[in-house]
Amino acid sequence: MEYKNIYFIGIGGIGMSAIARYYRFRGCDVSGYDKTPSELTAALEEEGIRVHYEDCTDYVPKDRENTLVVYTPAIPGDMGELRFVLENGYRVVKRSKILGEIAKGQQCLAVAGTHGKTTTSTLLAHIFTSSSEGCSAFLGGISKNYGTNLLTSHNPVIVAEADEFDRSFLQLFPRIAVITAMDADHLDIYSDLAHVQEAFKAFASQVSGTVIKKYGLDITPQDTGAQILEYSLDNNLADFHAENIHCDECGYFTFDLHHPSGVIEGCRCGVPGIINVENSVAAAAVALVYGIDPQSIRTALASFRGVKRRFDIQFNTPACSYIDDYAHHPKEIEAAVRSIRDIFPGRKLTAIFQPHLYTRTRDFADEFAQALSKVDKLILLDIYPAREEPIPGVSSEIIFDKVTAPQKVLLRKEQLMDYLKDEDIEVLVTLGAGNIDRFISPITQMLRNRQKITNIIYE
């Protein structure tokens, strides 16, 4: 059924906003609720989508027969608007189900994994868009090439970030899927690693054509009827891998991409960091299996500008550099720190980390402490709760007490900018999936002002 009105509860989420933009593109009347204004909700409003920030049923379209309500599972079940639509005969569906319905009848290329999927899916979408092929794409971040998390095309190919949270990715039935990682995460949903892996195997079973898994992941022919191929950063046993990897003085890598049919020589990553060589191999593997020509892939890798909040360099001078990254899992933090060390060897690395969710903090306190101990100085903020209520005994201190970095300090968000005014910064990284992104502009501006003052002094 075609609906005239599409109403979103939690419209400001990265996945929800992409679907809102899609229905706006389709000509529907789109509106919705979110808890707080953000840069993303402001962009939606500029595009003609009405957004409000109070839990008020007056905003829900009254024509329930012609209204589809989409909600995110991050919304609490007792939220007033959600209760209203459930009790009054509206069709109410989760975001993941709608994405599955949109993908039906089209060729779905899905990127799954507990980390790495946003950059990989955005790069894959860029390969298709910059070639003559084209695609529609629902992304988990804002592409810096296109300034959006939604791409549209008349070509019936969809690139989708397949989210494992709440088993959402089981709504997708891809032709080709890549699986980047199957680490323990979302243990409030899965309870343990075995159930995480079970869900990924179920996802693999729904792939009709080819599963491309990171080398070593436990996906076997018993788990899927699809062809199984493997990719790796540099393991030559994998079907797709990089060789002759070289890094320039700014952290940008060149490499040769080996694949089952040959070699794409002289590939260059358009974004810095060794992790992006691996992401490039994964995205290129999907494109090659689909049939994109090698030259188009090489050109797209070089012109890729990255994703906001994914190893996103905000400020960079010989004396001071600042990177922002969405990393909120210990493995992601390890990868970010390793990439920063590669680019800025010998410089003092200060990390500001905001833990995301009480359950994740509780479940991975030891792993967070181990990853964060690899920086020179840690500034640890209070937990961003997102959808969760506080858990007794769980705070940032359970990470902080175990960190062995040479320097560490525990702060509230409100104290951060005052603290940074007197901080000696060589390389700074902000890490986290909460509202730590609100500090990106103030920190960047502070560093720019310091640079101006330094220039004046030396002039």
If DSSP codes are grouped into helix, strand and coil, which group holds residue 70? strand
Query: What φ, ψ does residue 388 adopt, rounded to 5°?
Result: -100, 155
* CATH at residue 345: 3.90.190.20
d(Cα 316, Cα 344) in Å, to the nearest integer?
A: 11
The CA-atom distances, in angstroms, between 334 and each of 199, 265, 329, 351, 369 are 24, 29, 9, 12, 11
288 CB-near residues (< 8 Å, 6+ apart): 240, 259, 261, 294, 297
Within-domain flag for 443: yes
Buried b (16+ CB within 10 A) or exposed e, 221-257: eebbebebbbbbbbeeebbbbbeeeebeeebbbbbeb
- If asked whether residues 324 and 354 sit together in one domain, one would say yes
What is d(CA 179, CA 183) in angstroms, rounded to the nearest whole number? 11
pLDDT for 453 equals: 60
Name the phi and psi angles at 407, rounded to 5: -135, 145
249 and 128 share a domain? Answer: yes
342 and 366 inside one domain: yes
Check whether residue 340 and residue 414 sit in a common domain. yes
Nearest Cα neighbor of 140 from 173, 111, 103 is 111
Q: Is residue 13 part of a domain?
A: yes
Boundary (domain end) residue, out of 94, 117, 147: 94
86 falls within a domain = yes
Residue 351's domain comprises 312-458
Tell me, yes or no, whether 226 and 345 share the same domain: no
* Amino acid at residue number 369: A
CATH number of the domain encompassing residue 249: 3.40.1190.10
Q: Indicate the pTM of the whole model.
A: 0.86
For residue 99, tell me if it sits in a domain: no
Residue 436 domain-assigned (yes or no): yes
Query: Are 245 and 204 in the same domain?
Result: yes
Spatial neighbors of 84 by CB under 8 A, at least 6 apart, are: 57, 60
C-alpha 334/C-alpha 1 separation (Å) is 46
> Do residue 183 and residue 239 come from a single domain?
yes
Q: Are residues 125 and 221 located together in one domain of the fold?
A: yes
The Cα 420–Cα 107 span in angstroms is 49
Write the DSSP assignment of 265-280 as a string of letters.
EEEE-SS-STHHHHHH
Give me the long-range contacts of 83-87 (CB less than 8 A, separation at least 24): 84/57, 84/60, 85/7, 85/9, 85/60
Residue 117 lies in a domain: yes
Q: Answer with the one of 45, 62, 94 that is the final residue of a domain.
A: 94
User: Do both 334 and 269 map to the same domain?
Assistant: no
Sheet holding 50-52, edge to edge: 50-52, 29-33, 5-9, 67-71, 91-94
- Domain match, 43 and 86 both: yes
CATH number of the domain at 29, please. Answer: 3.40.50.720
Q: Quick one: pLDDT at residue 128? A: 98
The whole-angstrom separation of Cα 179 and Cα 241 is: 15
Residue 316 and residue 284 share a domain:
no
| Pair (85, 211) in one structural domain | no
Number of domains in the chain: 3
**Can you give the pLDDT of all 459 residues of the chain as single tens digits?**
689 999 999 999 999 999 999 999 999 999 999 998 988 999 999 999 999 999 999 999 999 999 999 999 888 889 999 999 999 999 999 999 999 999 998 999 999 998 889 999 999 999 999 998 999 999 999 999 999 999 999 999 999 999 888 888 999 999 999 999 998 777 777 878 899 999 999 999 999 999 999 999 999 999 999 999 999 999 999 999 999 999 987 789 999 999 999 999 999 999 998 999 999 999 999 999 999 999 999 999 999 999 998 889 999 988 899 999 999 999 999 999 999 998 899 999 999 999 999 999 999 999 999 999 999 999 999 999 987 889 999 999 999 999 999 999 999 999 999 999 989 999 999 999 999 999 999 999 999 998 766 555 444
Last residue of a domain, one of 303, 326, 359: 303
